[in-house]
Amino acid sequence: MDLESTIVAISSAQGYAKRAMVRISGSKAFSGIEKLGVKPKFGSVLSSKLDIGENKLPVLVGAFPKNSSYTGDQLIEIQLVGNPILARRLVSLCIEATGGREATAGEFTARAFFSGRISLAQAEGVSATISASNNAELSGAALLREGALSKLTKPVVSVLTRTLALIEAGIDFTDEEDVEAISNSNLNCELNSAKESLSSIIHHSVPMASLRYLPKVVLAGKPNAGKSTLFNYLIGKQRVVVNKISGTTRDAIEEGVIFGSVKALLVDIAGLENKHDNISYSSQITAQNAIANADLVLWCVGPNDTAPSANEQTIVVKTKADLRDQKEGAICATTGVGIEKLKIQIAELLQLKTIVNLNAIATLPRHEELLSVAFGGIEGAETNSQTPELCAACIRDSLHALGKITGRISPDDVLEHVFSSFCVGK
């Protein structure tokens, strides 16, 4: 991995936006920006103008000195108007001025790791934060960024390192029969304590991917109950056909919606009925499957339908308030009456269902594999506790795997694998 070149990239999201950001990191970052006519001060943000093509554009330039920047090297952040063509032109100008090159995916964070600013697990937390799609994922990513996994595995590493040192000392002193570096019972006790700690970490961890799961909210009820009208209202566009003829919806249609702070998949399905022709039969099966897989059912009840009882999986929604004598607690999806209250009710129920155990540690597939290898190493050491050389080799395997979590023992290919999942500019 080339750590010498000065690197440049657009660090803001792709496409048009209010603002865009271009970042430069490396030893030529300051001299480069000065060549473009801007004289930034360390640790401050300067308002200036840059000649990017035809016009002088107002920009904000933040300058972070070596050792106190994100990357650990000189870092310049230029904010400009969010036009992607101008941002690309600025990248080219900066590359020319610094003699650098365009950054590859995750290279800014990779530099932060190589300069010792962050551990590998923390770098992975940065990537997870960028791609988080809900609160649960954000909390998981925050724990990764704070290095929770590295902190938790640290005591296990100390026990194993100490035990390994004693076993190795024992091997060195094999000639001196009265010297016993570690007794068999102490060895087993240390290995058991390391195993229990690691088992507890594994037990309390949840795969990051499982936090990405979007709860399914299904609109069910009799035909013509007003499900599709409510679906369109909740997603904010005319996505599905609405008609007074009952049996209009045949397929299950899904759209992403945010209820409060929970992102969910809203599903519109066919009205439930006892028809036996071929098409109805398939759409009834589709509808029943959707209900069976729902995290929450919004059971829509028209003015003439009978209401099922509500439970923690079902909210009974009385539709078409305008056509009812008793309007109390009913919604109207053509005018929006009562829907804000319904959304709050949905959000509260979803929040309960998607609650994350704050003590749980979010792990990426790489961590799961390494934790399992480390655990296997300790088990191997226990099995071979009577044979010091084999026992030591197993402990070394375990330590090696734990070291890879924080990145202390990391070959280049692992690092490239980790940072390639980042976006360019981060």
Ligand X SMILES: Nc1nc2c(ncn2[C@@H]2O[C@H](COP(=O)(O)OP(=O)(O)OP(=O)(O)O)[C@@H](O)[C@H]2O)c(=O)[nH]1
242 vs 265, beta carbon nearer ligand X: 242
CA-to-CA distance for 225 and 61, rounded, in angstroms? Answer: 57
Question: Which residues, including other chains, have CB under 8 Å from residue 95's CB and lie 6 or more apart?
Answer: 8, 101, 102
* 244 near ligand X, judged by CB under 6 A: yes
CB-CB contact of 24 with 94 (8 Å): yes
Its sign, for the CA torsion 157, 162, 166, 168, is positive
Q: E strands within 311-392?
A: 314-318, 361-363
What are the strands of the beta sheet with 314-318, ordered from one edge?
253-259, 262-268, 216-221, 296-301, 314-318
Among 12, 71, 119, 319, binds ligand X (CB under 6 A): 319
Total residues belonging to the chain = 426
Q: If binding means CB under 6 A, how many residues of this protein chain bind ligand X?
A: 23
For the CB of residue 327, give the shortest distance to Mg ion in the complex, in Å.
23
| Structural tokens at position 150 | 């590295």
80 vs 270, beta carbon nearer ligand X: 270
- Region binding Mg ion by CB under 5 A among candidate stretches 114-122, 156-164, 227-235, 404-412: 227-235
Among 32, 40, 170, 226, binds ligand X (CB under 6 A): 226
Among 249, 284, 314, 319, binds Mg ion (CB under 5 A): 249
For the CB of residue 349, give the shortest distance to Mg ion in the complex, in Å.
23
* DSSP helix/strand/coil, 424: coil
* 297 near ligand X, judged by CB under 6 A: no
* 271 near ligand X, judged by CB under 6 A: yes
Query: Phi/psi zone of residue 236: left (φ > 0), alpha (ψ -120 to 50 degrees), beta?
Result: left
* 83 near ligand X, judged by CB under 6 A: no
CB-CB contact of 137 with 354 (8 Å): no
First to last CA, the chain: 16
For the CB of residue 248, give the shortest distance to Mg ion in the complex, in Å.
5
Among 248, 280, 410, 421, binds ligand X (CB under 6 A): 248
* 228 near Mg ion, judged by CB under 5 A: yes
Q: Which residue(s) pair with 8 in the sheet?
A: 24, 102
* 323 near ligand X, judged by CB under 6 A: yes
For the CB of residue 332, give the shortest distance to ligand X in the complex, in Å.
4
* 332 near ligand X, judged by CB under 6 A: yes
* 322 near ligand X, judged by CB under 6 A: yes
CA-to-CA distance for 90 and 183, rounded, in angstroms? Answer: 66
* 225 near ligand X, judged by CB under 6 A: yes
Given Mg ion, ligand X, none, residue 333, with its beta carbon under 5 to 8 Å by kind, binds ligand X
For the CB of residue 283, give the shortest distance to Mg ion in the complex, in Å.
10
CA-to-CA distance for 76 and 103, rounded, in angstroms? Answer: 14
Query: Phi/psi zone of residue 362: left (φ > 0), alpha (ψ -120 to 50 degrees), beta?
Result: beta
166 vs 270, beta carbon nearer ligand X: 270
* 290 near ligand X, judged by CB under 6 A: no
Q: Using CB under 6 A as the criterion, which residues of the chain lie in contact with ligand X when the complex forms?
A: 223-229, 242-244, 246-249, 270-271, 319-320, 322-323, 332-334
